[in-house]
Amino acid sequence: MDFLKALGLQTNNPGACAEGHWLTSNTTKIMSINPANGQDIASVQACTRSDYEQVIAKSLSTFLQWRQMPAPKRGELIRRLGNKLRENKDALGSLVAYEMGKSKAEGDGEVQEMVDMADFAVGQSRMLYGLTMPSERSQHRLVEQWHPYGVTGVITSFNFPVAVWAWNAFIAAVCGNTVVWKPSSKTPLCAVAVQKLCNEVMHDFGVEGVFNLFIPEDHAIADAFINDPRVPLISFTGSTAVGQQVNEKIAKKMGRVILELGGNNAVIVDETADLNLAIPAIVFGAIGTAGQRCTTTRRVFVHQKHYDEVVARLVHAYQQVTIGDPLDNRNTMGPLIDNAAKMAFVKAIDEIKLLGGEILFGGNALQRPGFFVEPTLVRANPAWPIVQRETFAPILYIMPYQKFSEAINAQNAVSQGLSSALFTNSVRHSEYFLSAMGSDCGIANINVGTSGAEIGGAFGGEKMTGGGRESGSDAWKAYMRRQTNTINWGKTLPLAQGINFKIPT
Ligand code: UN1
């Protein structure tokens, strides 16, 4: 595998990096496993408590310098990093496919998402705007400005092992924060490879410790990180269950948190929909990343009129899906991340069968090495608990409806609120869907599927998805503290609200 060498990976790699220096105090290994065959790829040395202390201490001391650098200059570091990622897109995209199991095309897409994010962050570094408000007092100026928080923690999931870090890290860094990354221990090599690229770029730029990494073996160090008062902001991507615990811990220390948790995303296909748009969007949304995106399409509500045709066309499309080694670009779908994910798929199918769900396609785990399952299509009932839950696998529930309002109500009747899509040619339906009475999700699309969002918009969702927003638009504000300044340049001390207070002097 040439890309491993090109990215500087070894058979055993250090798993913590502070100020550009790899820490190697531990001998406990975390294995990186190829989900396409279950074999070991390489190992990473688990971060110890003392490594962790160094990572935090160094990123704190770097912060004291980094915050003084003008923001557009900080953007220059990100510009160089974006270029480094462009040069390494093929190799890093291959590593993402190899270690995480998504197709090579999607792995490359993930690196492109990092590049796009770098470009965006460079521009943002010149646009950290604060407002000027008219003061009610004469010879007073009322303004707000934005300052960095400090050490920003970024906890990422296996399914986007590099892009989601970039959403957070690039914006956090141009805002003047330093970044400490705790990636998923299921994709440690992706994190080590990205850190190596960061180290080269930081070194050439003459800084150290803006981007730091630690990969712990167990939850104890991750918990210490979440509870750490030296880490004022944490961005967490993962399951709703874990996100709830993270949220509670951070609330206790009055820290800031950005949560990007589970989704249960639906597509509605109405009676006016162009099925030539809807079908490929649903297929990509349901089987892309083998159903392991937060934005994966999990539910489809189809108007009764189109139901039979949509099912027939989806089954036809599913028959063409080639499952296998993600690095072979003839394959459209790779494996699930690990055996536990495969078992969760099997359990979900059992539950569906018990409920009387009609399996229209798939439903089986493949009897071959690796963690492959079939893309699965099920006629379901929207109220079933299994349909209300997020199973991180390519299982798509399809349900007919008669009235548009019925479809919207069913779509919103789950605890998650990340992404949603309507396929329609009706302006009324489209506007209704986008109105306050329509989709309750953070992302609502028309004639575009639920997954594959561009970085320019704010990404995130409502309800049990956690409410965070990342990447584009004004998501940068979550990485900075707002300070309101009132400046009196006159010779008297008028009070706000016109209060006439006899101040003894
Ligand atoms: C995720 O699944 O955590 O919109 C992120 C998308 C990707 C990001 C997904 N751009 O599907």
Mean pLDDT, to the nearest integer, of 290-311? 98
pLDDT in tens, 2-17: 999 999 999 999 999 9
Question: Which atom, in ligand 1's list, is nearest to the CA of 443?
Answer: 4
Same-domain pairing of 324 and 271:
yes
Full residue range of the structural domain in which residue 272 is found: 265-458
Same-domain pairing of 479 and 369:
no
Instruction: Name the amino acid, one letter, at 411.
Output: Q
* Residue 295: per-residue pLDDT: 98
State the CATH number of the domain containing residue 396: 3.40.309.10
CB atoms near residue 484 (< 10 Å)? 11
Q: Spell out a b/e string for 413-445, using b for 16 or more CB atoms within 10 Å of the CB, else e.
A: ebebbbbbbbbbeeeebbebbeeeebbbbbbbb
Catalytic (active site) residue 248: no
- Catalytic residue, from 99, 113, 208, 260: name it: 260
Residue 498 Rama label (left phi>0; alpha psi -120 to 50; beta): left
| Ligand 1 environment, Cβ below 6 A | 113, 159-160, 164, 237, 293-295, 451-453
Residue from 324, 281, 285, 283 nearest 102 by CA: 324
* Mean pLDDT for the chain overall: 97
Domain assignment present for residue 496? The answer is no
Same-domain pairing of 134 and 270:
no
State the CATH number of the domain containing residue 158: 3.40.605.10
Same-domain pairing of 444 and 409:
yes
Question: Which atom, in ligand 1's list, is nearest to the CA of 455?
Answer: 10
Distance between CA atoms of residues 216 and 16, nearest Å:
8
- Give residue 81's pLDDT band: very low, low, confident or very high (50, 70, 90): very high
* Residue 217: per-residue pLDDT: 84
Distance between CA atoms of residues 225 and 213, nearest Å:
12
Same-domain pairing of 193 and 336:
no
CA 131–ligand 1 middle distance (angstroms): 32
Does 278 score more than 80 pLDDT? yes
149 close to 482: Cβ distance less than 8 angstroms: no
Cα–Cα separations (whole angstroms), residue 12 to 26, 44, 397: 12, 6, 42
Mutating to test ligand 1, I would choose from 294, 298, 470 the residue with most ligand atoms within 8 A of its C-beta, which is 294
Does 25 score more than 90 pLDDT? no
Same-domain pairing of 220 and 341:
no
* Residue 67: per-residue pLDDT: 98
- Catalytic residue, from 110, 294, 374, 390: name it: 294
Distance between CA atoms of residues 284 and 317, nearest Å:
10
CA 419–ligand 1 middle distance (angstroms): 10
Same-domain pairing of 190 and 324:
no
pTM for the whole structure: 0.98
CA 161–ligand 1 middle distance (angstroms): 11
Catalytic (active site) residue 294: yes
Domain assignment present for residue 382? The answer is yes
Mean pLDDT, to the nearest integer, of 41-70? 97
CA 295–ligand 1 middle distance (angstroms): 6
Same-domain pairing of 353 and 331:
yes
* Residue 273: per-residue pLDDT: 98
CA 241–ligand 1 middle distance (angstroms): 19
363 close to 315: Cβ distance less than 8 angstroms: no
pLDDT in tens, 363-392: 999 999 999 999 999 999 999 999 999 999
Vertex 278: Cα angle to 277 and 282 (nearest 5): 125
Domain assignment present for residue 63? The answer is yes
- Give residue 141's pLDDT band: very low, low, confident or very high (50, 70, 90): very high
Question: Which atom, in ligand 1's list, is nearest to the CA of 288?
Answer: 11
Percent of the chain with pLDDT over 90: 98
Domain assignment present for residue 503? The answer is no
Mean pLDDT, to the nearest integer, of 231-254? 98
Domain assignment present for residue 202? The answer is yes
DSSP 230-258: T--EEEEES-HHHHHHHHHHHHHTT-EEE
Mean pLDDT, to the nearest integer, of 396-419? 98
Domain assignment present for residue 497? The answer is no
Domain assignment present for residue 213? The answer is yes
Does 26 score more than 90 pLDDT? no
Mutating to test ligand 1, I would choose from 108, 160, 168 the residue with most ligand atoms within 8 A of its C-beta, which is 160
Question: Which atom, in ligand 1's list, is nearest to the CA of 419?
Answer: 4
Tokens of 181: 């990354």
Instruction: Name the amino acid, one letter, at 98.
Output: Y
Same-domain pairing of 370 and 440:
yes
Does 24 score more than 80 pLDDT? no
Same-domain pairing of 326 and 257:
no
Domain assignment present for residue 499? The answer is no
Same-domain pairing of 411 and 454:
yes
Tokens of 467: 């409410």
- Give residue 504's pLDDT band: very low, low, confident or very high (50, 70, 90): confident
CB atoms near residue 78 (< 10 Å)? 27
310 close to 300: Cβ distance less than 8 angstroms: yes
Same-domain pairing of 205 and 304:
no
Does 27 score more than 90 pLDDT? no
Does 325 score more than 90 pLDDT? yes
Q: How many structural domains compose the chain?
A: 2
Percent of the chain with pLDDT over 70: 100
